[in-house]
Amino acid sequence: MAEEDSIRENHLWNTKKRSRDARTTSKKIDLSNPEGKWIGMADDKDLQEISQEESAEDTSNSQPDLQDGAFERAVREAGANSIAEESLPEQFDSHVLNVDDPKADPSQKITKNIDTKNQVQDVILNKSLSNEDLLHMYRRMVLCRTLDERIWMLNRQGKAAIMASSQGHEASQIGSVAALRKKYDLFYIYYRDLAVLLDLGLTPTQIIKGFLAKQGEPLSGARQFPTHGAHPKYGIVNLSNVVATHIPQAVGAALAAKMNKEDRVVIVYFGDGASSAGDTHEAMNFASIHKLPVIFFCENNKYAISVPLRKQMAVESVASRAEGYGMPGFEVDGCDIVAVYEVTAESAKRARSGEGPTLIEAQVERYLPHTSDDDDSIYRSAQEIEEAKKRDPLRLLRTSLQDIGQLSDNEDEIIQDEARRLVNEATEEAEAAPYPETRDFYQHVVSDSGLEPGEYR
């Protein structure tokens, strides 16, 4: 069907009004249009009817539906019988950028004695990002880019293992984390999510140790592929680099949250290549059926390793697939950190209020090869990459901050210098760290039998 024949009502996000305006359009979202930063791909009227029907079903928990299967009854009964306390942390810091920030305004603290479970997310959703917030985000993006460049250099020196660069993805990753609850929500990441790790609390030293396989790496004890493993304190889970296998696992975590009557949200990050995997479709279908609190966050850089988007799917938009599962789907300019923050906050509010999953397609850019082992000159032209760099998220945010008088050239140089200093110190510390002891090789792999490595009974 021709694009002009596929007119439907969409919802464009107006970043000035902070509200959705119903429009009729047959065009794809213009990423340079400040009036519409993200676009809903599913028919809102249909979704509202589905939501109302499912909400009516949820209110009948005391009257079990005889058509329910055993699984549905188990989920409902687990939630009804849960004796877990109100699932908010004892003291949740709603400071949008850093829950551990000692300089955060104490007036923004929210304690457990709130009336509804959605008030915390309402604070996040209704809070306009201040100039100071954006400047802090910019600092984090600069630090991530500097760290990314250093790890790539260490790989070229033969010191670091394989590297999947996040350059071009920083705004999507940091913007989405800012809209969620650190140390409470769960983050199922994939191998390109360096900024997510950094923004959730891992230090540059810890991250570099992972790439150098040095003692003190916190995710797997330097046993896994770099950036892989788990960190329960920060809600980080990344157990395998096999494409898309973590997406059903994230849905399982969302199911557990629902059964335990927690208002925890699970966000799962993946690339456009993973969106074509069978695991992804099964996960989305299951999550939508059971209205699970999960956000599917696709970082679409238009290449699945070397395969361009047009050769891996017959549709132009990953988000358009959401309609087939009965969930909302949104395209967003993934290089616009404010737009990413807003659409993620809206999706999290839906999830916490029991409205189910959301699919977000963040349109980002990839400036380097798929990994440090790839040669992208075989399938991409230098001209294409230079064109993509016009949408560099750091450059866009820096220009915006300069335009509003929030960042001078001198201040920007100070930020750049500070990032280099932190990364230099982290590099020195990581390189000086020892490798893990070989006698610990079997720790956390097999049961502790008291035998020395290589000994058998």
Task: List residues with catalytic annotation.
Answer: 366, 370, 379
CA-CA distance, 170 to 101, in Å (whole number)? 20
**Residue located via tokens 């993805």:** 169
Q: Give the pairing type, strands 358-363 and 329-333.
A: parallel
Residue 93 has phi, psi (to 5 degrees) of -90, 115
Residue 40 has phi, psi (to 5 degrees) of -85, 130
Residue 315 has phi, psi (to 5 degrees) of -115, 155
- For residue 241, give the nearest of 161, 344, 313, 160 by alpha carbon: 161
Q: Which two tokens stand for residue 200?
A: 């959730």
Q: Which two tokens stand for residue 384?
A: 């294409």
In a 13 Å sphere around the CA of 202, the CA atoms on its Cβ side amount to 28
* Other residues' Cβ atoms within 10 Å of the Cβ of residue 127: 16
Is the Cβ–Cβ distance between 264 and 257 less than 8 Å?
yes
CA-CA distance, 409 to 396, in Å (whole number)? 15
DSSP assignment letter at 63 = S
CA-CA distance, 289 to 326, in Å (whole number)? 8
Q: Using alpha carbons, list the distances in angstroms from residue 281 to 96, 244, 251, 297, 349.
A: 32, 10, 11, 14, 23
Torsion of CA 328, 365, 387, 140, to 10 degrees: 110
Is the Cβ–Cβ distance between 351 and 124 less than 8 Å?
no
Beta bridge partners of residue 75, listed in sequence order: none
Is the Cβ–Cβ distance between 92 and 181 less than 8 Å?
yes
Can you tell me whether residue 450 is helix, strand or coil? coil
